[in-house]
């Protein structure tokens, strides 16, 4: 019998009610509690179980605040079933000595797929064409919305990490001309041109695809100046975090024709979405679902459970923050 199972550590799952994909695999190895099933207010529930909870599994990016953490004095690890961890108070975790892990590359392939899907949908106006047929307008030829080709488009990737690199590889066969901005240049074997700042990247590209993490430095990295620099034919695809874009200015730029279109999987104040976007034909929206495939959820479940087992067996963690 493995060492971790002899004690059966108590794991608290903090998730939206519908996101139950991780429940059964966790229950095979751990004693599992759920915040969403408690009739008590959240902080009261945490206090009631304060002495027993040694791990928290965060699903769906519900906030793990300093107050949340302070109510769990026995907490040793937070396992994020997501790549992003900006919903976790890392400073408080560090102060308390609480380990934090994330999903690593579990979602990478599917997030990259959706980035390309959003881009093609915006360029070729696929949702608008779908609405055109469903509304019964297809009664004459050549009166439907016309889009643009992807071949030879100049694409700037903001954040050429694991996901950004997967996006770039998918765009190469389309004939796209790819460049990027990251904290520092990649090794010489990376075949894309590096721009040291996002303004110069926007100036020389038709499309910006946002793949970077949300930090204090990247918050609203795409502001009005960047959008004006990208220009009236420019497209923004965001599969990173909503806070990377100044959302209010983006709406104004779309309405005013400062940029041509956007494809968004993430928003500044999810699940709230600016209503002005709903009536715009050059906008394609997705409900933060880039990684939501059966295959990715299986991957992230395996990684999350493996991280917990490793932690409680004093083995190296798979992905640490």
Catalytic positions: 241, 270, 288
Helix (H, G, I), strand (E, B), or coil: what is residue 161? coil
Which position has the token pair 């009236």?
232
Q: Are 321 and 85 in contact (CB under 8 A)?
A: yes
The region that residue 201 occupies, defined by phi over 0 for left and psi between -120 and 50 for alpha, beta otherwise, is alpha
Q: Are 53 and 35 in contact (CB under 8 A)?
A: no
Contacts of residue 298, defined as CB under 8 A and 6 or more positions apart, other chains included, come to: none
State how far the Cα of 231 lies from the Cα of 293, in Å rounded to an integer: 34
Q: Which of 318, 311, 313 is nearest to 56 (CA)?
A: 311
State how far the Cα of 225 lies from the Cα of 208, in Å rounded to an integer: 14
**Which pair of structure tokens corresponds to residue 151?**
């071949």
**DSSP assignment of 224-265, as one string?**
HHHHHHH-TT-EEEE-S-GGGB-HHHHHHHHHHTSS-EEEES
């Amino acid at each position: 019998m493995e060492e971790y199972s002899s004690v059966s550590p108590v794991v608290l799952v903090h998730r939206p009610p519908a996101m139950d994909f991780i429940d059964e695999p966790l229950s095979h190895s751990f004693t599992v509690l759920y915040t969403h099933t408690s009739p008590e207010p959240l902080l009261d529930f945490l206090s009631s179980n304060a002495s027993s909870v040694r791990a928290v599994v965060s699903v769906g990016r519900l906030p793990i605040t300093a107050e949340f953490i302070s109510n769990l004095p026995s907490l040793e690890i937070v396992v994020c079933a997501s790549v992003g961890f900006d919903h976790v108070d890392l400073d408080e975790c560090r102060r308390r000595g609480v380990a934090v892990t994330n999903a690593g590359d579990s979602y990478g392939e599917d997030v990259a797929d959706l980035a390309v899907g959003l881009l093609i949908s915006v360029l070729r106006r696929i949702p608008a064409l779908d609405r055109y047929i469903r509304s019964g307008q297809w009664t004459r030829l050549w009166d439907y919305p016309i889009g643009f080709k992807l071949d030879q488009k100049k694409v700037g990737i903001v954040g050429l990490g694991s996901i950004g690199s997967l996006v770039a590889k998918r765009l190469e066969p389309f004939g796209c001309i790819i460049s990027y901005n990251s904290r520092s240049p990649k090794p010489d074997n990376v075949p894309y041109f590096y721009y040291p700042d996002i303004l110069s990247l926007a100036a020389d590209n038709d499309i910006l695809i946002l793949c970077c993490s949300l930090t204090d430095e990247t918050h609203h990295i795409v502001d009005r100046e960047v959008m004006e620099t990208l220009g009236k034919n420019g497209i923004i695809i965001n599969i990173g975090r909503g806070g990377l874009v100044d959302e209010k200015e983006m709406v104004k730029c779309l309405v005013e024709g400062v940029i041509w279109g956007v494809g968004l999987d993430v928003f500044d104040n999810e699940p709230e979405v600016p209503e002005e976007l709903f009536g715009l034909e050059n906008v394609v929206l997705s409900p933060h679902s880039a990684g939501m495939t059966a295959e990715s959820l299986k991957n992230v479940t395996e990684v999350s459970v493996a991280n917990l087992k490793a932690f409680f067996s004093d083995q190296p963690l798979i992905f640490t923050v």
